Amino acid sequence: MVFPIDLNRLTPGFSDPVQGSRQTFRAILDAMAHPGRIVATDNNVLSPPRPLNLASVAVCLTLLDFETTLWTDLKPNAKGNGWLRFHCGCSIVQDPSEAVFALITRSDTMPALNKFKPGNDESPEFSTTLIIQTGRLRSTDGKRLTGPGIETFSTLKAQGLTKRFWQDRQSQSAMFPLGVDIIFTCENRLAALPRTSSVEG
C-alpha cells in the first residue's frame, strides 16, 4: 500500500541537485574505494525528517531513482518514507530481499544480513547496498579492516552495531564475490564496508 505524502510539510532536497549529487558521489566513491575511511558529504542545507541523517539522505538523493527499490526500517507511513519517495522517485518495498538499497535507522533491531540480496554467481552486482545509520563513527580504533582499497589495514568504529551484526558480516565473507555492500552514516559523514573487506577484532 502506498501512503500519501504530506506536501505541505515536505522539506527540500539538494539546493543544487547536479553539484550536490556529484559531490556526494565522489564522497561515496572515495569511501567505497578506501574501506574504513570517513568522508564528509557536503550538504548541510538539507533538513531531512527525523530520524534520517544528512549523509543518509545525501546518499539516497545521489543514487536512488525510479529504477531502484528501497527498503527501510521506518513505519510504512513514516515521514521519512514519504520524503524519500518524493525526492528520489524510488518505490519502497516491504521485503528486504527485493531491495536494491536498504536504509536502516536502528542498527540494534536490523534484520540479519542474509535477509537482503547477496547477488548471484553470474551477477554478483545484483545485491543490496545497505545504508546503516550509526552513532559516532571514528577511524582511530575499532574493527581492523584489510583487503582491496586498503594499503595495510584500516580501523573503523561505528557506534551501535551489535555483535550479531558483525557475526553476520563474518559469515558473508565466505560468500565472496556475493554479499552486501554497506555504507555507514552518522550526521553528514559516511564510511563504507564493501564485501571485499575482511574484518577482525
Partner 1 sequence: MKKQFNRQSETGGGRSSVMEGYNFAYLDEQTKRMIRRTILKAVAIPGYQVPFGSREMPLPYGWGTGGIQITASLIGSEDILKVIDQGADDTTNAVSIRRFFSRTAGALTTTRTREATIIQTRHRIPETHLTKDQIIVYQVPIPEPLRFIEPRAKEVCRMHALKEYGIMFVKLYEDISRHGRIAKAFDYPVLVNDRYVMSPSPIPKFDNPKMDRMPALQLFGAGREKRIYAVPPYTKVKSLDFEDYPFEVERWPHCCALCGSGNSYLDEIIMDDRGSKMFICSDTNHCNERVARGHKGNQEEPVEKAQISIGTGARKCA
Site residues for partner 1 per CB under 8 A = 17-19, 21-23, 25-26, 28-30, 32-34, 62-65, 67-68, 121-122, 124-125, 127, 129, 148-151, 176-177, 181, 194-196
Q: Are 113 and 180 in contact (CB under 8 A)?
A: yes
Closest CB to partner 1 among residues 64, 78: 64
Residue 7 DSSP class:
G
Q: What is the largest CA-CA distance in the chain?
A: 51
Q: What 3-state class would DSSP assign to 176?
A: coil
Minimum distance of partner 1 from residue 117's CB (angstroms): 12
Measured from the CB of residue 18, what is the shortest distance to partner 1 in angstroms?
A: 5
Residues in contact with 30: Cβ distance below 8 Å, sequence separation at least 6, in sequence order: 37, 39
Q: Which is nearer to partner 1, 28 or 74 (CB)?
A: 28
Q: Indicate the residue among 19 and 97 with the shorter CB distance to partner 1.
A: 19
Spatial neighbors of 157 by CB under 8 A, at least 6 apart, are 136, 137, 138, 139, 140, 141, 142, 143
32 vs 84 by CB, closer to partner 1: 32
To the nearest whole angstrom, how small is the minimum distance from the Cβ of residue 32 to partner 1? 5
Rank residues 3 and 153 by Cβ distance to partner 1 and give the closer one.
Answer: 153
Report the residue number, 6 or 29, with the smaller CB distance to partner 1: 29
Q: Is 184 helix (H, G, I), strand (E, B) or coil?
A: strand
| Best CA proximity match to 172, nearest among 101, 123, 118 | 118
Closest separation between CB of residue 172 and partner 1, Å?
12
Helix (H, G, I), strand (E, B) or coil at 197: coil
CB of 19 to partner 1, least distance (A): 7
Q: Rounded to the nearest 5°, which phi and psi values hold at 190? A: -145, 160
Minimum Å distance from CB 127 to partner 1?
8
Question: For residue 91, which phi and psi values (nearest 5 degrees)?
Answer: -100, 145
